[in-house]
Amino acid sequence: MSHPPLTNPLARGLKQVLSRFRRMLPLGLICLLLTLSSCGLPRIQAQERLFLPLTVEFLNESVLPSQEIQETPIGGLSAITYDRQTGKYYALSDDRGDFSPPRFYTLAIDIDGGNGDPFEIGSITVEDVTLLRDEAGETLAAGTVDPEGIALSPDRTLFISSEGVSSEAIAPFVDEFDLTTGQRIRALPIPDYMVADAPEPEQTLGVQNNLGFESLTLGGIGTGEPYRIFAATESALLQDVPWLEEQQAAASPESPVPLTTRLLHYVVVENRAQIVAEHLYPLDPPPSLLTMNHGLVELLALDGATAALRSAPGGYFLSLERSFGPDEGFGIKLFQMAIASATDISSLTYLQGEARDFKPVEKQLLLNLSHIEGFAPDNLEGMTFGPRLADGSQSLILVSDDNFYGSQVNQFVLLRLTAER
């Protein structure tokens, strides 16, 4: 999602929308104490049993200088995915066609600084660019797509999500593309209630403008079961806003109601994909009253996604939240997320209308990147597992969207993810 600080008209519009949620506080994660018998065992918090024992450590950052490849500017890197078979990365640009046709890049990232440090990003090389094309082989028309999420499938195809352009009633999508040619193979079903029913300002239904399918990940890879696709909106659907406002107005300080996004869960069987569930994802509160942009920007499934975490059960993810304000700059938080106990809301077009007790997904903060000494996060939006590090731990790579804006950069961040045995 493009957010040039203070100058982007979309950001200014979002400020008006998000101002209604400034008083919202985070969902209270209830920690229950397990009462044990008089055997003398220590008490264990229920929340500790819910989540996997993961830790994340910041290692290094690197900046890819502004440049071009095949007459296309490199920038707007809103998503990234790792190809374990080739060791390459595919990074998606969120350029709607303003600078070049919608596209993704093939990257080589050397995780070795060359100074004897095996935990450092060395060179980053852009090796190729692939234009996204429709079924007829034509490049996607400018202004009809807002690419934000990318994930490599077991079939060696790419799934790509678009926020759509709700201001013009252009639908969001989660589509499959050929890895080599960039040509669209098929479109996954999208619920009608997620598609704008009219251009602004007549719209009453669907994803809000520039707040659609920002996050995309695949799960269940390598497990022997049908793989899963998960796509989440960056913020609340337009029709969910009244319900959220009503719930917040009636909430007590002890039971706050957070701003929620929607998470779609697909299962893929024999080249057919269908939605099997939908959940609410609760956002942390904005850092300040002046925060302009605030939402869920990426998901990464833990199960089967990488050899180092192959034993992780299904239903666990990493989630990345991003905010921006004129005073605090970019705020980036990394969470662990679990969906097992979340309410399935896939049958509900509207959340409002009656008193409902929706249980959202559970999440646990792993790392606040804004609190790392000596490090200033840019507009980090993409996240992928990389190769194993020299000590056997799992690398995690984040990438920022520079918005093709002079004061921002294409920032790559290297993290180390470890799981206690």
pLDDT at residue 374, rounded to an integer: 95
pLDDT of 304 over the 70 cut: no
Span 175-199, average pLDDT:
97
pLDDT at residue 287, rounded to an integer: 82
pLDDT at residue 222, rounded to an integer: 78
**Could you read off the pLDDT of 234-260 as tens digits, one per residue?**
999 999 998 888 888 887 777 777 899
Whole-angstrom distance, CA of residue 168 vs CA of residue 197:
10
pLDDT of 24 over the 50 cut: no
pLDDT of 406 over the 50 cut: yes
Span 329-336, average pLDDT:
96
pLDDT at residue 421, rounded to an integer: 67
pLDDT of 210 over the 90 cut: yes
pLDDT of 18 over the 80 cut: no
Q: Which residues of 321-345 are buried (b: 16+ CB within 10 A; e: fewer)?
A: bbbbbeeeebbbbbbbbbbeebbeb
Model confidence at 289, in pLDDT bands (50, 70, 90)? confident
pLDDT at residue 137, rounded to an integer: 97
pLDDT at residue 223, rounded to an integer: 77
Q: Report the SS3 class of residue 343.
A: coil
What is residue 311's DSSP assignment?
A: T
Model confidence at 9, in pLDDT bands (50, 70, 90)? very low
The pair of three-digit structure tokens given for residue 151, joined into one six-digit string: 């994930």
What is residue 344's DSSP assignment?
A: P
Q: What are phi and psi of 308, to 5 degrees?
A: -70, -20
384 neighbors 80 (Cβ within 8 angstroms): yes
Closest CA to 153 of 234, 85, 77: 85
- Which of 2.170.270, 2.60.40, 1.20.1070, 2.115.10 is the CATH number of 9-419? 2.115.10
Span 217-234, average pLDDT:
91
Lowest mean pLDDT among 91-100, 295-304, 308-317, 402-411: 308-317
Q: Could you give the C-alpha distances from 372 to 11, 12, 203, 306, 375, in angstroms and in order?
A: 26, 29, 41, 26, 6
Residue bearing the bigger pLDDT, 43 or 206: 206
The domain locations on the chain are 9-419
Burial-class residue 40 by CB neighbours within 10 Å (0-12, 13-18, 19+): exposed
Lowest mean pLDDT among 52-56, 287-291, 331-335, 384-388: 287-291
Q: Hey, how many other C-beta atoms are within 10 angstroms of the C-beta on 363?
A: 24
**Could you read off the pLDDT of 56-109 as tens digits, one per residue?**
999 999 999 999 999 999 999 999 999 999 999 999 999 999 999 999 999 999
Q: Taking the complete model, does pTM exceed 0.85, yes or no?
A: yes
Span 398-408, average pLDDT:
95
Beta bridge mates, 152:
158
pLDDT of 390 over the 70 cut: yes
pLDDT of 45 over the 70 cut: no
Closest CA to 154 of 64, 86, 220, 253: 220
